[in-house]
Amino acid sequence: MDLLPAETPELAKKHGFRSLKLLNVDLEQPLADKPFGVDYGKLDNGLTYYVRSNSKPKMRAALALVVKAGSVLEEEDERGVAHIVEHLAFNATTKYTNHDIVKFMESIGAEFGACQNAMTSADDTVYELFVPVDKPELLPQAISVLAEFSSEIRVSAEDLEKERGAVMEEYRGSRNANGRMQDSHWALMMAGSKYAERLPIGTEKVIRTVSAATVKHFYKKWYHLQHMALIAVGDFPNSESVVELIRTYFGQKSSANEPPGIPRFPVPSHDEPRFSSFIESEAAGSAVMISCKVPAQELKTIKDYRDLLVESMFLLALNQRLFKVSRRRDPPFHSCSAASDNLVNPIKAYVLTSSCKENGIIEALEAMLTELARIHLHGFSEREISIVRALLLSGIESAYLERDQIQSTSLRDEYVQHFLCNEPVVGIEFEAQLQKSLLPSISVAEVATYARKFGTTCSCVIKAIEPQSTVTLDDLKNTVAKVTSLEEGESISAWDEEQVPEEIVTVKPNSGSVDQQQEYADINVTELILSNGMRVCYKCTDFLDDQVLISGYSYGGLSELSETDYVSCSMGSTIAGELGKFGHKPSVLMDMLAGKRAEVGTRLGPYMRTFSADCSPTDLETALQLVYQLFMTNVEPREEEVKKVMEMAEEAVRAQERDPYTAFENRVREINYGNSYFFRPIRISDLKKVDAYKACEYFSNCFKDPSTFTVVVVGNLDLATACPLILQYLGGIPKPPVPILQFSRDDLNGLPFTFPDNIIREIVRKPMVEAQCSVQLCFPVEVKNGAMIEEIHFVGFLSKLLETKMIQVLRFKHGQIYSAGVSVFLGGNKPSRTGDVRGDISINFSCDPSMSSTLVELALDEVLHLQNEGPSDEDISTILEIEQRAHENGLQENYYWLERIIRSYQSRVYSGDLGSSFQIQEEARLKVRTSLTPSTSKSALQRILPFPCRKKYTVVILMPQTTRFQLLKSCFWESFPNSKYAVAIAGLTILSVALWRSPRSRH
């Protein structure tokens, strides 16, 4: 094979992807077994290690202990034990007790909580740490923790009892509609295999009753160093010193001389498709899934890699078609997508999933099967394959250009897969060469052959999901037979392609000019006032070589509308998106943007309307063209498209009405914010009144007057190229002769709501398939003008303090919850520079319904204790460390700088000098950090929250509907208000959960 000659990093970056030399490919050449770019080996005791120095992010390390032991290894009386072991690891080991590991993690800014730090699947368990390494003692201690997990987890009856409640709450949380649908589909896919009955979460019986002896037996039997890997990727001076640390902490440990081999559990194939109609009364909507199991092909040779590229091209091409079908005038489904996923070792699945309207299951299934049959008969067109080839090349080019900026967590994940699945790690340079060399040789016919893997004889499972039954299994079978007959008779026509314009902007605008320019050297930012009045601020960074972010905002949003216009105009962005807010239909624009990395979105908020873009430096012109088109397009409603949008919106409302959590959230908003039309759920009766013409007119006017907009651009900008493009496409937007939607920030309307003046405690009871319980405890917040900037920073610190303490008390001390969250809402304040800030702080958690009232009292007691006694020095140290580590990471990210610059413009202290506003905000942050002590925190809790906290709050609890006798026993006063239902109109996909994905339980 003709490999590239050695290049210096500077020369390679200068040449770029387009100058990469093509390879003389030998398809039979094996891919390297040893992973690229990593210090890789084994200790004498069998532990595999991977160590790599990587400077992104600076002074951080991503660690993992990977164990080839998951739930499939459990016996019947152990179902759920693999996951329980994972939980116990953080509770106590030989060296660390009483959740000392959690305290250590939090003390160094590595947060602990749900979906962090560990996960258990059917085949493996992975413990992850992301830690700072700017102090010499931190990395050794982190590796020491993982070494303890490998062989020293303490499993006592007391430990197990303390953790059962948290595991049980995680189990209960998995028993919602999505969880039940996922579990059902998993069992159907894995039928005939042990995997079918070994979901990682386990069974309620085992969680509640398993003995410590049984848990310890599983741990000792399967946790062996020969089946483990330690992975360390981070900003290390060198990898050798880290390998020595691994030897120090793992080298003296030993396992059984002959540990049991990891058995394989086959998943039987089947020629005849399996059919299922799953009725889920709480389902978000109707959906159809076609899943086909195939053996996962190991990547051993260049040919295997080429086959993977063919598969990727097929899935991309199919998804492009399915998107276009979903955008027809009368589409058979709301959305549909295809994917491949590794289910278990070594089985993968090709999955086609669609969400559809009620009573639309058969129509959706027929359309899905018909598109597959159309590809079987006619394949793809040359244009379709050229588009997906361009998409893949664009993706690998971006990865290549940012090869020196890969996140340590991403590299860690690659090595995890190498250890578990023997996935080759060949390095991005070689992979870029490989793709560039192979993609042009892949033919249209080759890509089309992959459609056969979706055949109904390929271990196929077809599943319908409905809130209420409308189809039978025979209906599903008959649909398959119908399409099969059409395909065999070659009665399905070829794909009819749309005409695609050559250019996004047909008539290029004349460039504007710069009226004013201001440099802010302290933050390396330049501000321009363009001739059309638009303010443009840019900051050049080198965080990512292939990223430029753009965000623009203008004051005056939905809060300025009358109540009668609100619903129609709030639908404007959704309707305009379907019609083509950039001057072209979405299905056409998709083809026009093929191979370009440029995405632009819009949002209509209460006080502002905004647009945002994410693009590569080479596609900056495309992104700016889309922004230009946004301002130049007058969206005209077309009856068919509007009808489709409104039907989908009505489906979404009905779906939300079935969801008990939506009823709960609606009632929380209703209690906390009153009957304000900004917070009141949209009902179907509201949708019937939507005026599409008014919606489109309002949306078009929102992005019409450039003089009202401030635009911030952050990223890898070549100013010689970028500035002329900014002047042409942003400066070239014509200023309208009459001002449109011009508002003074100080005169905007605030959101009309008032927090209750008294205590409200209420239970929302809803019918549930399985008992769920959610609690939201909410306190009003009003921050007075004056030391406003510091006070808002105090709110941020205190919310993290409250979250940390809730987990300590409700989980670690009482063992009754899985996780707790604290959220802050300060949206009650308009952007005025003089008014006060209104909002609330909410504590939320789920729990056993019978424990809800007790836990509310414990939460209130803890908040009151913090107000009266203040937090400990250790508590303050922890939240300061968490905030500082997040800040340090953020300083290395474009998104963080974009947000900080925008926040400085929108700050109440901004009066025309961005640098001054930025400095005042940073000084406020540092002032609060410096002043944060137990005493000042106590004062802030008294000042910002009601004091004492028990004098004013609301608590709303979602509970399963029950009998009248049980209602009388409730310790809460309960009213029965009229139920109101909400819908998030902006997202119209009815079912987005990837139901086929291999289930995991996370710590």
Residues with a catalytic annotation lie at: 86, 163
Report H helices in 379-503.
Answer: 382-401, 408-421, 428-438, 444-449, 473-488
CA angle 654, 655, 661 (to 5 degrees): 115
762 closest CA partner among 980, 964, 967, 958: 958
343 closest CA partner among 962, 898, 1000: 1000
Positive/negative CA dihedral, 674, 676, 682, 685: positive
Helices then strands, each counted (H, E), the chain: 32, 24
Angle between helices 572-579 and 563-570 (to 10 degrees): 30
DSSP conformation class of 76: G
928 closest CA partner among 880, 869, 867, 873: 880
Q: Tokens standing for 516?
A: 């004013």
**Cα separation of 538 and 717, whole Å?**
9
What residues form DSSP beta bridges with 466? 279
Contact between 783 and 929 (Cβ < 8 Å): no
What residues form DSSP beta bridges with 777? 843, 955
The number of residues making up the chain comes to: 1003
Tally Cβ neighbours within 10 Å of residue 205. Answer: 11
What is the residue whose two structure tokens read 């020369």? Answer: 11
Which residues have C-beta within 8 Å of that of residue 683, sequence separation ≥ 6? 653, 980, 981
CA 2 to chain centre: 41
**Cα separation of 146 and 140, whole Å?**
10
DSSP conformation class of 470: -
Q: Tokens standing for 429?
A: 């340079």
**722-748 core/surface letters (b: 16 or more CB in 10 A; e: else):** bbebbbbbbbbbebeeeebbebebeeb
CA distances from 687 to 363, 578, 652 (A): 25, 17, 11
Which residues have C-beta within 8 Å of that of residue 20, sequence separation ≥ 6? 4, 400, 432, 433, 436
SS3 723: helix
SS3 812: helix
SS3 843: strand
Cβ burial, residue 8 (10 Å; 0-12/13-18/19+):
exposed
Preceding peptide of 57 cis, ω within 30°: yes
**Cα separation of 374 and 380, whole Å?**
9
Contact between 981 and 658 (Cβ < 8 Å): no
What residues form DSSP beta bridges with 837? 783
Q: Tokens standing for 490?
A: 């070659």
**Cα separation of 67 and 83, whole Å?**
12
Q: Tokens standing for 354?
A: 């669609």
What is the residue whose two structure tokens read 């799953």? Answer: 278
What is the residue whose two structure tokens read 């919310």? Answer: 799
Tally Cβ neighbours within 10 Å of residue 339. Answer: 15
Q: Tokens standing for 347?
A: 């089985």
